[in-house]
Amino acid sequence: MPKTETYPRLLADIGGTNARFGLEVAPRQIECIEVLRCEDFESLSDAVRFYLSKCKESLKLHPIYSSFAVATPIMGDFVQMTNNHWTFSIETTRQCLDLKKLLVINDFVAQAYAISAMQENDLAQIGGIKCEINAPKAILGPGTGLGVSTLIQNSDGSLKVLPGEGGHVSFAPFDDLEILVWQYARSKFNHVSAERFLSGSGLVLIYEALSKRKGLEKVAKLSKSELTPQIISERALNGDYPICRLTLDTFCSMLGTLAADVALTLGARGGVYLCGGIIPRFIDYFKTSPFRARFETKGRMGAFLASIPVHVVMKKTPGLDGAGIALENYLLHDRI
């Protein structure tokens, strides 16, 4: 499909920590990808202007069509990010950036659209058998927060994406260890959601809870400056810190429980898809982690879940891809 006057299109995938921008110069062809830290900019518009100034040599035409995937519920014109300080009006931002159309969607709606176009080599399968094409697909993923959505392919091939805020459901402990972790979190927060644990900051929270467990007083622990998701993961994998390994095992177990809960709720025989930047960093470990065993530990529904494949999304920029697909759907059909 040749370029048209609607290209280039400005795409963004905006999370709690980072904002990714790209220019779609032709269908599914995204160039000039940049990652900016949200905390470095007062507003979304400031970040967009900075990005466009960096890409001005690549821009032959000013983008007039744009699609932003944002990690927060979309409930009208006013948007307030859940995990960073940005707030904005969609219409005011459209005018400010001189756009003809600004489409703003939930980030996990974008993830769902991206999954609809993925190839086998974009995914790493963790157990299960085969997806049923027309059955619901469950999409969830830990990052700065925890996103959840549903993708349904209708019999005519059209797609329907159902956004959700499943990351904020109340966390349900599975065993005594998780009760201990939950109790620690409950002492810090009024509401302990799944996202409190199944996110980057969740790894730190799990570690803190486990470090206070009786019997671990003499176990080697991280210093305060080392308490980051990346260092906890690294120490877990190199075997120097058993408490870090227990933290990562607990994280994967909790994710297995939640993924199974979502799969059962949706009847997701189309598969479960895990997005976000955390799991691909330790994919080899994840394949043998407690995740899959916990996913199938659902009593009478164990056999139902055993057949459902779980896929880890390995593609680098699914949020941008999905934002572009959603915009194309809107321009063609006046709907996403």
- Predicted confidence at residue 239, as pLDDT, reads 87
Please indicate if the annotation marks 265 as binding a ligand: no
Tokens of 251: 């994280």
**Distance (Å, whole) CA 118 – CA 38:** 28
Whether 240 has a binding-site annotation, put simply, is no
Specify the domain boundaries for CATH 3.30.420.40 within the chain. 9-111+317-333
Structure token digits, residue 223: 């210093």
| Token pair 């177990």 in the structure block, residue | 253
**Domain 9-111+317-333 CATH assignment equals 3.30.420.40:** yes
- pTM of the complete model: 0.92
Question: 277 labelled as ligand-binding?
Answer: no
Given this model, what pLDDT does residue 116 score? Answer: 93
Amino acid at 124: A
18-26 sheet: strands from edge to edge = 29-37, 18-26, 9-14, 65-70, 101-106
User: In the chain, which stretches have pLDDT less than 70?
Assistant: 1-5, 217-218
Specify the fold of 119-314.
Answer: Hexokinase; domain 1 (3.40.367)
Distance CA 23, CA 166 (A): 30
Of residues 334, 275, 279, 332, the one with CA closest to residue 114: 275
Annotated binding residue 15: yes
Read off φ and ψ for residue 223, nearest 5 degrees.
-75, 165
- Residue 114 annotated as binding site: no
pLDDT at site 217: 61
Q: What is the pLDDT of residues 182-238, one digit of tens each?
A: 999 999 999 999 999 999 999 999 999 999 887 776 677 888 888 999 999 999 999
302 is in an annotated binding site: no
Q: Where in the chain is the domain with CATH 3.40.367.20?
A: 119-314
**Scanning the structure block, which residue is given the tokens 């043998």?**
288
